[in-house]
Amino acid sequence: MTNTVKYNKILILLIMLILNPAVILSQEIESKDACFNCHAITEGRLKTPADMFKSDIHFRKGISCAACHGGDSKEEDQDKSMSKSAGFIGIPQGLQVSKICAKCHSKEFETLSKSVHGQSSTGTGLVINSCITCHGIHNIIPVKSQGSKVNGANIVSTCANCHNNASLMKKYNPGLKVDQLEKYKTSVHGQKVFSGDSKAANCASCHGNHDIKKVNDPNARVYITNIPSTCNKCHGDANYMREYKIPTDQYEKFRKSVHGIALLEKGDLNAPSCNKCHGDHGASPPEVESISKVCGTCHVLNSQMFQESPHKPAFDKSRTHECSACHSNHEINKPTDEMLGTGEKSVCIKCHKDNDKGFLAAGMMKNMIDSLLKDVELANYFINAAEQKGMDVSDSKFEANDIKKVLITSRTSTHYGDIEKYLNTINEGFKITNKAKIDGEEAVNEYYFRRLGLGVSTIFITIICITLYFKLKKIEKKQKT
């Protein structure tokens, strides 16, 4: 009978091992960890940690309670297992928490200690965040598990626990906005994450995890000059983005654009990065109705002129993206005069055909700007020629500097799409260049007039001197006789 019972127990154990090996593993750990066994049979708050710990990755790997709380987990006598001589520390506090985690996770702890979360900003010496803030305490599970607090689908809510708390954030950074989660929910990234897509960008995708820096830190992933490469990690990966069916060449185009060169090569921090146009926490592609407003935040005058142009209602009707229709989006090159008119490089001929009103107006605008540039060249020639000859043309040079402003405003006024307004602007340039040409030419003529006068005077004086010489010689001769 005894052998039968024994074999039955073995059979049951084998069946349980096949059906649920985690249960057998848990029971084995329970039998070795006296701390866990004791808490598992208590009630209330003392039992809760044990219940949670059953699903913890550390529990499953055989790490005992004593690894974090100290003491002797093999000793069933409570006084001995929780004695100071056994190293019992109870509930870890403050920096002690992360230092305990660092025993195994040293690399992560080192990175965290250099991050914004691993530093103290209150003067108390306590860091802003410790490991358990994000990962949990007794219920830590692998990052890739769906239930993990730092899994791609859950990390947004984990970050929001602090970043949506106005009272808490006021303590560390009163100027930091607390509506990031609400904005994120409106973004393409947020909508995909909350619909179950864990591949879409979450907080850690852009800010990092253990290595999060302040936004104004040049080493931060979201520092303005680093944003394009941060976005490109996903958006430049053809395999990663394949299911979303969007281009993956945005970074290469942006890098060669006038914006990219200004930001990445010249270090102009006022130049736009990805988030300046698409948004950051509320990142979305600018739509037809909003793209001009996005561009208009920097190019205010151009936007105002376009709003008054005949192009505005035409673009609205055809659902054409306003600014990008002529200037492109990621690959925006420095505007040139060749974009105007009816030549091969003109953007006007995309819509306007031979001899329609817009075609003729574009051709006239291009001819006018070409004529003005020739007048500018001629005016500069006369002014420089007069200056090289030593003539004072400082007033003319000062007035000619205004032509630069006229050229800028004339080129900008093309956004009106109105030939009359364009002529009113550019005609000011012709007035300035005509005056500069006249002043320069008169200065050159005056130089030659002075040279002529000087020559004539020199000859006249020379004749007088020669005449006086011979006259004196004649007088000397008479006196000797």
Q: How far apart are CA 461 and CA 464, in angstroms?
A: 5
Q: How far apart are CA 62 and CA 390, in angstroms?
A: 93
Q: How far apart are CA 359 and CA 348, in angstroms?
A: 7
Q: How far apart are CA 39 and CA 24, in angstroms?
A: 19
121 contacts: CB under 8 Å, gap ≥ 6 = 128, 172, 173
- Say if CB 284 and CB 187 are below 8 A apart: yes
pLDDT of residue 142: 92
The structure tokens listed for 468 are 């006086």
Cβ-in-10-Å burial (0-12, 13-18, 19+) of 443 comes to: buried
- Say if CB 96 and CB 89 are below 8 A apart: yes
CB atoms within 10 A of CB 114: 14
pLDDT of residue 400: 75
pLDDT of residue 232: 97
pLDDT of residue 30: 46
- Between the alpha carbon of residue 154 and those of residues 315, 344, 449, the distances in Å are 42, 53, 87
| DSSP class per residue in 109-141 | HHHHHTSSTTS-SSSSS--S--HHHHH-SS---
pTM: 0.77
pLDDT of residue 88: 93
- Between the alpha carbon of residue 164 and those of residues 43, 118, 279, 315, 435, the distances in Å are 34, 19, 19, 40, 64
Per-residue pLDDT of the chain (481 residues; tens, 9 = 90+): 445 544 444 444 444 444 444 444 444 444 488 999 999 988 889 999 999 999 999 999 999 999 999 999 998 888 898 999 999 999 998 888 988 999 999 999 999 999 999 887 666 667 888 899 999 999 999 998 888 999 988 999 999 999 999 999 988 888 889 999 999 999 999 999 999 898 899 999 999 999 999 999 999 999 999 999 999 999 999 999 999 999 999 999 999 999 999 999 999 999 999 999 998 998 887 765 577 788 988 999 999 999 999 999 998 888 888 888 899 999 999 999 999 999 999 999 999 988 899 999 999 999 999 999 999 888 888 888 888 888 887 887 777 778 888 888 889 999 999 999 999 889 988 998 888 888 888 888 888 888 888 888 888 899 889 888 888 888 877 777 6
3 contacts: CB under 8 Å, gap ≥ 6 = none
Tell me the residue type at 461: I
What's 85's DSSP letter? G
pLDDT of residue 25: 43
Domain boundaries, the chain: 1-91, 97-212, 337-480
pLDDT of residue 181: 94
CATH of domain 337-480: 1.20.140
